[in-house]
Amino acid sequence: MTTRKFNTFEYIGREAGPDPGGLHREGMFETPHGFAFVIAASQGEVEQDAGRTATALERIRYYLENETDDKVEEVSRNALMYTSGYLYQAFQKEAEGDLPPLSCLCVIVRDGKVYYAWVGDICLYVFTGKRMVPLSWPVDEPQGAGVAGAFMGEQPVVAPQFPAEPLLPVNEDMLLAGSGRSCELFCLKQTRKILQDSMPSQTKVARMTRLFEGEEGQKQVLALQMLRFYNLENRQRSFIEGREQLAHRSKSSAETEDMPKKKSKKQLPDKDMLQKIKYIAYLAGILLVGYMVYDLFLYDPKPAVNIPIVAETAEVEIESPDDTLSLAMDEPRALPEDIPYTVRGGDTWGRIYTQFGVCSWFIINHPPNTGRFGRDGSLIADARLQIPVRYSSDPELNPHYYTEFTTEVVGPSCENAGQELLDNFREMVQTQ
């Protein structure tokens, strides 16, 4: 299992399968377009076909690292088109009979947005904390006009599937990509319970994959990737659900097929109906004109009243509370109150930072917490702590001063958190 943490998301990748291996592969790498996450999966059962999945990952990575002129909205799709053509030329001559279906998914994460495209039987979901929403749709459904081949390398040109707009996740959203039986795994009720638990992300992936282990613990052929987002500036989630995208395409296709039928004479209203509509419109026009004449010339709700003219009016002086307004505007912005927290068994400083955005140094050296830690500053279960969220990087907990404690200030590992940073912050607050 591979785990990597970045500024705005955490990545956990799990690739497994019984011998022969390599039929389900996953990869993660940085490109000029952003961070790329790729899955290649074959439905074959022979060791020789594992070479196609390895070649697919290699060619997708080569394209993303060298083709820098593509727009980020198109780079995932173009990488799959290039790779499919390469596989068609490379393996058609060597193939004996039909090649097993090969599917690929390419995801690009850049600037808080997720761009993706896929070919074949690959699934992509976003978990919002309550709902598991599909972002892809299966290959056996209508694909739209002009699609050549449902899987990678079947034809010289393949048309990948992709959404009209990228996914905009918010903090704590989880993106799940998989192949094989993992697509069934994402739809289980047990999976949603695991994702809603406060356990570490790598533990969640391990527990999800164990749901498909056999009685003797035999691993299943599947690939699984999970991204958990945090520190995003997005305040509103935006995505196109796979079912909605599929329904829209199916509806458009059906409307195109029904266009000749709409011109049939049976669809036109008969003469009696047209005559009734004209009569109703004529009557409505007469009523409208009569009402306008009555309202403008006949109806007078309030007769005129003579109001005596007053020669002089008393002058009233209104005292403006300028001094009070000035004092209110000069008041410093309030610091948020401490949040009480009881340490639970298995808690770590990393988990507490993820929940409150406060470095451990500030919590340990906060006066109300004196004597509530181990000798080495470790956490003690059931200890009652006061979390000083005035030093938090979370804008919801520390709306006025969170920019003073972002990872750029305290460091990715809170290595800059100390007395000097605390003194500078207190001096800044006092001078406001």
Greater confidence (405 vs 220) lies with: 405
Q: What is the pLDDT of residues 254-272, one digit of tens each?
A: 443 444 443 434 444 556 7
pLDDT for 102: 87
Q: Of the ranges 6-20, 88-102, 204-218, which one carries the lowest mean pLDDT score?
A: 204-218
Which stretch of DSSP H or E encloses residue 256?
helix 242-262
149 vs 165: CA distance, rounded Å: 24
Rounded distance between C-alpha atoms, residue 359 and residue 355, angstroms: 11
Superfamily of domain 2-240: PPM-type phosphatase domain (3.60.40.10)
Q: Mean pLDDT, to the nearest integer, of 301-312? A: 55
**Bridge partners (DSSP) listed for residue 117:** 106
Task: Look over the chain and give the mean of its residue pLDDT values, rounded to a whole number.
Answer: 80
Least confident of 116-125, 187-196, 203-212: 203-212
Residue 309: its pLDDT value, please? 53
pLDDT at 106: 94
Residue-level pLDDT at 91? 76
**CATH 3.60.40.10 intervals, the chain:** 2-240
Look at residue 227 in the predicted model and tell me its pLDDT: 93
More confident residue, 77 or 310: 77
Please check whether residue 226 is in contact with residue 178, taking contact to mean a CB–CB distance below 8 angstroms: no
CA distance linking residue 250 with residue 247, whole number of Å: 5
Quick check: 328 pLDDT over 70?
A: no
Q: What is the DSSP letter of 69?
A: S
Whether the pLDDT of residue 419 is over 50: the answer is: yes
Nearest Cα to 239, choosing from 150, 160, 162? 162
Question: What are the distances in angstroms from CA 160 to CA 29, 75, 165, 224, 423?
Answer: 21, 11, 15, 20, 56
Structure-block tokens of residue 361:
């140094």
What string of DSSP letters covers 94-134?
T-SSPPPPEEEEEEEEETTEEEEEEESSEEEEEE-SS-EEE
pLDDT tens profile 218-241: 456 678 889 999 999 998 999 888
DSSP 3-state percent helix, strand, coil across the chain (nearest 5): 40, 20, 45
Interacting residues of 429 by C-beta distance below 8 A, sequence separation 6+? 332, 335, 401
Tracing tokens 């509509």 back to the chain, one arrives at 277
Helices marked H in 306-384 — which ranges? 322-330, 349-356, 360-364
Sign of the Cα torsion 159, 227, 398, 430 reads: negative
Answer whether 0.75 is exceeded by the pTM. Answer: no
Of residues 63 and 43, more confidently modeled: 63
User: If pLDDT is split at 50, 70 and 90, which confidence band does 48 have?
Assistant: low
CA separation, residue 375 to residues 299, 352, 364, 429 (Å): 90, 19, 11, 32
Mean pLDDT within 66-90: 89
**Percentage of residues in the chain having pLDDT higher than 90:** 33
| Residue 300: band (very low, low, confident or very high) from pLDDT cuts 50, 70, 90 | low
Cβ-contact 109, 167 below 8 angstroms = no
> What are 171's two structure tokens?
């903090």
Is the predicted pLDDT of residue 253 greater than 60, yes or no? no
Within 8 A by CB and 6+ apart from 267, the residues are 261
133: pLDDT confidence band, cut at 50, 70 and 90? very high
Is the pLDDT at 139 greater than 70, yes or no? Answer: no
